[in-house]
Amino acid sequence: RSLSVLLQRLDIRTEHLSVAAEALKVDFNRGSAHDLAMDSRRALSPENRQEADNVLRAYGLPKLGERHEMPGLLKLE
């Protein structure tokens, strides 16, 4: 149920799930030994990072790298 709510909230259609699962498998198999210098997330200039943070803030989302929890998606019993 949590996954269903998450997919709906993020507007991810079911036809994209197999491609996403394959990408996750490839990323997982790379492990933590991959070269962090090749990680495109670290290639943002401070100006580009600020621009991205401004866009995210406009939509009420956290800045890049900040944790975001969606209430109601995880139910621990």
Residue 41 has pLDDT above 60, yes or no: no
Does residue 16 belong to any structural domain of this protein? yes
Q: How far apart are CA 12 and CA 28, in angstroms?
A: 21
Pick the residue with more confidence: 12 or 49? 49
| Structural domain span for residue 12 | 1-30
Does residue 4 belong to any structural domain of this protein? yes
Q: How far apart are CA 31 and CA 75, in angstroms?
A: 29
Does residue 23 belong to any structural domain of this protein? yes
Tally of domains within the chain: 1
Token readout for 27 is 């990323």
What are the pLDDT digits (tens) for 22-31? 877 776 666 6
Does residue 72 belong to any structural domain of this protein? no
- Does the pTM surpass 0.95? The reply is no
What are the pLDDT digits (tens) for 44-62? 788 988 999 999 889 888 8
Name the residue among 17, 18, 23, 22 with its Cα closest to residue 4: 17
